[in-house]
Chain A
């Protein structure tokens, strides 16, 4: 990579991966989850195909429990960039009354995210789906390929992964098989924020500290984004100066106390922090191998 800085090298690699999919897959889609990684992924996609538009739509698998600010940001972003946005909700899950509060995080995530994603991919016949996952997030992700082959029923077999030397990808697949493709594989959380700052990429305001109504449960600060979050006896939401390191369904996403209200402040806070970004995610905490299991079943 010669004399490129490390962010330039990462940017070039991601653009290469995005173009590779456009050139070799029939019907790609970009999984847009509205968070900071998705923001960077989308920004790179705009660069990769300039002066044209990315030759694929965005897909958001909505669980119905995202922060309202996320949904507003999502719609604004698609409009600003002039891209097609597909929003898919698992209607069966909604009918069955699945929700993060009474169903529990595991069932909610499986039905509304994993099953919802599979439904959407099957419904539209997408043969490649970009995701913003990074290898530094979690140990089973560290072994994930950039081009990750999935069976026709979307399963991932960690033991039968194709070797992936160089950037010479084997993009061949059989009918019904599909790829999950991770252009940000080699980025770290710090790289993502440095790049957002360098390129002035818009992100959801929830990442910046502000006084927000939260309740404290099991050591996590949960924001009461709307009144579907029932208050426990004696609980009253308190206005506290908080922000989010990752974004998901609001009842499952813990906020952190912070005063970082600008990008430089966020970057400084992240570098000084001693806890990982996934700490705030309730769904990851069922044991070290739980992500591997979820991924085998088709979770991104």
Chain B
């Protein structure tokens, strides 16, 4: 099989030799740690090819899959006579036909040291939301840069999103190094350029490695074509990089499900979002603020004395206090104040743009709460990281906004706790996920910023249905302008200032009221029409 694959054979470092069966049998494999990473970068940087290469080299691709790959490479491949490793990961037929990655794909491989979950994400700007999805669960990002092209707008965009979603460790893979004749100066120029960009972001570690995904240089073994590199190949970096997720050590436990199999047992199930808890510890249940003490901790394999972040457990408490799904149990020593306002960095994920005045169902932790986007402070230009004023966030746009909840919610900053600082915006009518958000640090102090009185008026009027929900200052300005024109016309016709001003004011007030009346009448009429249609459909089977 291998002989047919025009591969540059690379020597296999010991770490990836398939596990010794005896070691497996003794359970050594069960002690591996887990690293989640994503590959991202510009279109055609070779992300899928790199991942396909890692899968192939670590033995995660089987011979029958290689046969399919060989067949598909001839049919869809973009690499001439060579195997197109990207086809190992681009699984949807639309992707194979177009030769691009649309959706995020998860792939799996392991070495003796670690098990890896890799998210292969799309490079095209219109699929940024899928790239963000891949970044949300990642411990590490591999950012690909084409050696011939250097740092591109997409490199900047992806680096920003990766940083925003809390990834603190990145590996910059300078790919296609074979196409620049393994030139050291190209590699160093890109490294310097990227370090400048990364200065504005929140990375703790940046590693740089020159690779050729197509030929395998520095992917699992050090290449003899880059003697100037002298550092670890990509796989060794992945095996050794720190995988600690960011969060502080305060105990936070979003209650996911109340376990009540019979009258004698009442437990609260969930996954610990941060910190740890022990039997006997005092806790507070938010948002109501009742306190109690932990009696039992049920882990997946029985009772535990202590449980820690990431474990799925069930707690029982000493007191009968009212706790339901969506509540958060925290250590009594570190309570968090529930709040009505949250400032979050949002990413719009749907064609319906995110706009001030709109209502959303917001999922935060296990809680589902209604909220209104009350202010959009700015949109971030992800190419130069500048902040621009904006009326709404278009799909894939990122900006800072304030959400006002209808009830008290428990949220923390994303930096303090990913689970309680991450939110989904859901359209209440279509149920589509229209955005994601990460809560900013000044949570709790979050206040609605001083707005123009006109914006407040427009939002207030929209609350009463007098203006459309997404009305802003422009709607008011339009009303004022049309009233002014009416005033001028009446003034010209009648010559009386008093009469024209009164007519103009009447116009200003009556027009929105008429709109409400007209819309409700129209809606009632169309509901009747729809009802008639539905009856017709049901009687003749509706074409089903």
Contacts and interface: CB of A to CB of B under 8 A. Distances in A.
Interface string A264-287: 100110011111100100000000
Nearest to A273: B62
Given A11-B300, A289-B96, A5 B130 contact: no
Interface stretch (A44-52, A62-70, A121-129, A227-235): A44-52
Contact of B21 (A161, A162, A268, A292): A268
**Size class of the A contact interface (CB-based, 8 Å):** 35 or more
B24 A264 contact: yes
A274 B62 contact: yes
A90 interface: no
B89 A142 contact: yes
A252 B94 CA distance: 29
A218 interface: no
A185 B106 contact: yes
A2 interface: yes
A168 B422 contact: yes
Contacts of A20: 256-257
A225 interface: no
A142 B361 contact: no
Say what secondary structure dominates the interface of chain B: mixed
A2 B136 contact: no
Interface residues of B, number: 85
Interface in B244-299: 244-245, 256-257, 259-262, 265, 267, 269-271, 298
A275 B64 contact: yes
A146 to B, nearest CB: 10
Interface in A95-111: none
Contacts of B130: 163
A1 B18 contact: no
A141 B91 CA distance: 8
A53 B261 CA distance: 7
Contacts of A19: 256-257, 269-270, 312
A217 interface: no
B256 A288 contact: no
Interface in B82-134: 88-94, 96, 102-108, 110, 114-115, 117, 129-130, 132-133
A198 B21 contact: no
Contacts of A49: 259, 261
Contacts of A139: 88-92, 105
A159 B145 CA distance: 28
Contacts of B200: none
A274 B18 CA distance: 11
23 contacts: A1-B309, A2-B308, A9-B34, A12-B271, A12-B300, A12-B310, A135-B106, A139-B105, A159-B102, A163-B130, A165-B422, A168-B364, A169-B363, A170-B363, A172-B368, A198-B30, A264-B24, A267-B24, A275-B62, A279-B64, A288-B68, A289-B96, A292-B92
Given A19-B256, A142-B107, A264-B24, 7 more contacts: A9-B34, A48-B269, A139-B90, A164-B433, A190-B29, A264-B25, A275-B62
Interface of B: 18-19, 21-22, 24-25, 27, 29-34, 62-65, 68, 72, 88-94, 96, 102-108, 110, 114-115, 117, 129-130, 132-133, 136-137, 165, 244-245, 256-257, 259-262, 265, 267, 269-271, 298, 300-301, 308-312, 314, 325, 349, 361, 363-366, 368, 418-419, 422-424, 426, 431-433, 436
